[in-house]
Structure 1
Amino acid sequence: MLNQHMVALGNNRSTIRELFEYGNQRAAVVGRENVFDFSIGNPNVPAPDAVREAILAEAAGDPVSLHGYTSAQGAADARKALADDLNRRFGTSYTGDSLYLTAGAAAALSCAFQAIACPGDEFVVLAPYFPEYLMFIESGAGAKAVIVPPSIADFQIDFDALEKALNAHTKAVVVNSPNNPSGAVYSEQTVKQLAALLRDKEAQYGHPIYLVSDEPYREIVYDGVQVPFVPNYYDDTIVCYSYSKSLSLPGERIGYVLVPPQAADSADLYAAVCGAGRALGYVCAPSLFQRVAARCAGQTSDISVYQTNRDLLYEGLTSMGYSCVKPQGAFYLFPQTLEPDDRAFCERAKKYDLLVVPGADFGAPGHMRISYCVQTETIRRALPLFAELAKEYQND
């Protein structure tokens, strides 16, 4: 007898992945250039030159240590270099022992959730959210996910809805800024208000409420927008990070969990993250890219390409009548669909080989996610098709 829950999970892939595979199938029929796949957040900007230089520098060293195991939580020198970079950028005082290196943000989140989850715990998730959060919380950590609907006007936090969701069973609140899928960045005012609310609730319920901050898009922002560094505003923060987006290294699976020393029970919390990594099998992140990330800490790929794509897509769609909050970061646009049933709209878009993801998957029905980390020419060629799709609704 197999674990039927896992069988079901394996047979029911995410909508994003299903669209991605559908795009591959359509490309074999009509040609790759005729499929406008906006489904997946796969960076199209090359990694910075520093990444290649770091790989070559590491390859010139000892071939045994190059590919060998590191300490379970990551090589000490790599963790120190990454901590030093955070300290330089955010005025903190972390050490390498504040970091647990992981196989990307998915492993970081899974380790963080399992480290703190106890029977009966609830994790509050702010919509719109990355769909796999629910998988990591419920199927992975065995906790309950409580969804807070979004503020559609600006995709900042609806604090009235959030406060109603908090209770004595709340173990953590999960935030993602810059946000996937909306591109919204939580303002400093928003972060301060969130921190104040959680401190009040900690005092009311008599236990820590952790803030799990998922930050793979931290450096991908536009128009001079600043991203508040959440641990500087709220002590009980756990940061989950990945270099998949900032360094364009999604396939290399390298990230970290940051456990700040000021977080409640920080020593035990760090031990629990290590224990979760052990239980999940996430022991020793890819050793070569631990060192590459350390050498390239603080650098980013050329995000000006994403800004060009954002502006082209946003201006084009809004001029056609699509309604959208302008993204401040990440590389997604999250317009409202032209009919309330976003799944039906996205299915209709497939007639034009436009592959976009229904907003319902992100906890925001009536929207669609368009991933614009694609070639700029792809967007230019897709805009007339979005216009044709819009005309269908004008003529209905």
Structure 2
Amino acid sequence: MLNETYRAMLAHKSVIRETFMYGKQRAAEIGYENVFDYSLGNPSVPCPPRFTAAMQDLLATEEPIALHGYCPSQGDPGFRTAAAAHLAKTFGLPYEQKHIFPTTGAAGAIAHAIRAVTKPGDEVLTFAPYFSEYGPYVRGTGAVLKVVPPQPPTFQPNLDAFEEMLTENVTCILINTPNNPTGVVYSAETLTRLAEILTAKSKEYGHNIFLVSDEPYRDIVFDGKTVPYPAAFYPHTLTCLSFSKTLSLPGERLGYVAVNPACEGADILVDILAQISRFTGHNCPPSIIQKAVSRCLDATSDLSVYETNRNLLYDKLTELGFEVERPGGTFYIFPKALEEDANAFCMKAREFDLLLVPSDTFGVKGYVRFAYCIDTEKVKRSLPALEKLAAAYRK
């Protein structure tokens, strides 16, 4: 007998993936160069040469059995040690090997982290707009996702509403900065107040409320600024990282959970995460990728391309009269649609071969997401199509 839970999920497939597949079909009809696909957050710049060199060196010099063999349940010790040292150097927190748990990307990190700090029936709060896959991640643990309403146009977290929703049933908060889909970077002021609320409520309810911080876009930040590190503001933080975006390695599926050394259970949480892996069949990302990335932790791809693309789109959108917050990072921009129904707006955009994602999938009405991780030349060629789309609403 088929599992009815997963059968039911077939009726709620990813809008992002559906739009991407439509783009592939349309490209076959009119040519890839004529479809302006802003649907999928798939990096458009190559990985750094250092990663390629590391892979070549490992394959040429390492003993194959050791290189391709199983690593411990907690992950490759060399990778864990290197990641901890990099975090300690970058953020000044005393991370050690015992605080790092490698995962299959940020998705695996989030799924593990939430399981480690919730039990079925607990509530998890996140802030709209939020990455749509948070729903399945949380439901898979038996916990319940509750969404704090958005605060446009800046889309900093709505902390007044958050404080009201933070009941004793909440054991975990899930945040994402820099944010997908808005590109907004949570400010130090926001994180300071968030930490103050969590500290006060944890004391009131007699249990620590954990913060799970989703940070795959940490290094994609613009205008010479830096991203405030949430774990530096609140001790009970599990940081979830992916190398998919900053090293342009989405297909290699490597990330990690970093447990703040001051977190409750810091000495055993990684061992708990390893036991969760036994339950879910996760069993570590590939050994060779952990070894190669451990040599590249202070490197990134050429991320300047995304700032160039951000500027082109932001300038054109504002010129055309769209209401839009200037992204501080990521490779997403989140303008308000030119009609109330974002889905209808995205279907209208398809008439000009502009493929956008409606905001409903991110828990917000009336906006659209552009994933501008495409070639700059193609961004430039898409601007006349964007002008035609705006003109269609002025008739």
For residues 294 and 176 of structure 1, what CA distance do their matches in structure 2 show? Answer: 24
Query: Aligned runs of 1:197-208 on 2, under 5 Å?
Result: 197-208=197-208
User: How far has the Cα of 1:11 moved from its partner?
Assistant: 5.0
Which amino acid in 2 is paired with 1:100? F
Aligned to 2:9: 9
User: How far has the Cα of 1:273 moved from its partner?
Assistant: 1.6
1:388 matched to 2:388 = yes
Which amino acid in 2 is paired with 1:96? Q
Stretch of structure 1 that moved more, 99-108 or 3-12: 3-12
For residues 224 and 328 of structure 2, what CA distance do their matches in structure 1 show? Answer: 9
For residues 130 and 191 of structure 2, what CA distance do their matches in structure 1 show? Answer: 17
1:111 matched to 2:121 = no
For residues 288 and 241 of structure 1, what CA distance do their matches in structure 2 show? Answer: 18
Aligned to 2:141: 141
**Cα RMSD after superposing both structures:** 1.1
TM-superposition CA deviations, 1:230-271 (whole Å, max 9, x none): 111101001111000010000000000111221112234333
SS class of match (2:267): helix
1:57 matched to 2:62 = no
Aligned to 1:81: 82
Query: Aligned runs of 1:1-396 on 2, under 5 Å?
Result: 1-10=1-10, 12-60=12-60, 61-138=62-139, 140-395=140-395
Which amino acid in 1 is paired with 2:106? A
Q: State, as a whole percentage, how many aligned pairs show the same letter.
A: 45
For residues 12 and 286 of structure 1, what CA distance do their matches in structure 2 show? Answer: 31
Which amino acid in 2 is paired with 1:320? L
SS class of match (2:41): coil
Which amino acid in 2 is paired with 1:260? N
Contact 2:99–2:267 under 8 Å retained in 1: no
Contact 1:214–1:240 under 8 Å retained in 2: yes
Which amino acid in 1 is paired with 2:98? D
SS class of match (2:151): coil
User: How far has the Cα of 1:57 moved from its partner?
Assistant: 1.5
For residues 215 and 242 of structure 1, what CA distance do their matches in structure 2 show? Answer: 7
Stretch of structure 1 that moved more, 325-334 or 259-268: 259-268
User: How far has the Cα of 1:64 moved from its partner?
Assistant: 1.6
**Structure 2: 5+ residue stretches without partners:** none
Report the TM-score when normalising by structure 1. 0.98
**Structure 1: 5+ residue stretches without partners:** none
Contact 1:115–1:275 under 8 Å retained in 2: no
User: How far has the Cα of 1:312 moved from its partner?
Assistant: 0.5
Contact 2:98–2:267 under 8 Å retained in 1: no
For residues 377 and 105 of structure 2, what CA distance do their matches in structure 1 show? Answer: 30
Contact 2:120–2:141 under 8 Å retained in 1: no
Report the number of matched residues. Answer: 394
User: How far has the Cα of 1:209 moved from its partner?
Assistant: 0.4
Report the TM-score when normalising by structure 2. 0.98
